[in-house]
């Protein structure tokens, strides 16, 4: 008899907790509908416009920085920078230097260096 009463009390308590859990866990508000297609399109367009403005401002800022860097250099350094930039572009596109430039350039191979073993002859 005591066992039945304990079982009944346990059963009632468990039903109440399950019922409370379901009530609090459930959604009281009906789910909201998604935005319409037109409003989504407008939002995308606004995001794209903002992105373009940000990109434009960023590029202008970088250009100002580059121009300032060039402006503070001396004339000789600016010439050297221009020459180096041309070389870099040519190297990045995997092009050789022009024929006459290569022809009259200092040689950089093994044969261009004099060996250290040969010492000048000293007359006595």
Instruction: Convert the pLDDT of each residue in 68-102 to its tens digit.
Output: 998 999 999 999 999 999 889 989 998 888 888 88
| pLDDT tens digits along 6-61 | 777 877 777 666 555 555 555 555 555 667 888 999 999 999 999 999 999 999 99
Query: CA-to-CA distance for 87 and 81, rounded, in angstroms?
Result: 10
Query: CA-to-CA distance for 52 and 60, rounded, in angstroms?
Result: 12
pLDDT at 105: 83
Is residue 43 a contact partner of residue 50, using CB atoms and an 8 Å limit? Answer: no
Which tokens belong to 118? 């040969």
Give the pTM. 0.40
102 Cβ contact partners less than 8 Å away, ≥ 6 residues apart: 96
């Amino acid at each position: 008899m005591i066992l039945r009463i304990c079982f009944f009390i346990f059963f009632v308590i468990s039903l109440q907790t399950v019922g409370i859990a379901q009530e609090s866990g459930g959604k009281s508000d009906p789910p909201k509908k998604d935005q319409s297609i037109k409003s989504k399109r407008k939002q995308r367009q606004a995001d794209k416009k903002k992105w373009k403005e940000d990109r434009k401002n960023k590029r202008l800022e970088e250009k100002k920085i580059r121009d300032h860097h060039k402006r503070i250099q001396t004339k000789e350094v600016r010439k050297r920078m221009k020459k180096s930039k041309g070389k870099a572009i040519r190297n990045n596109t995997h092009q050789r230097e022009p024929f006459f430039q290569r022809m009259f350039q200092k040689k950089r191979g093994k044969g261009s260096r004099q060996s250290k073993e040969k010492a000048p002859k000293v007359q006595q």
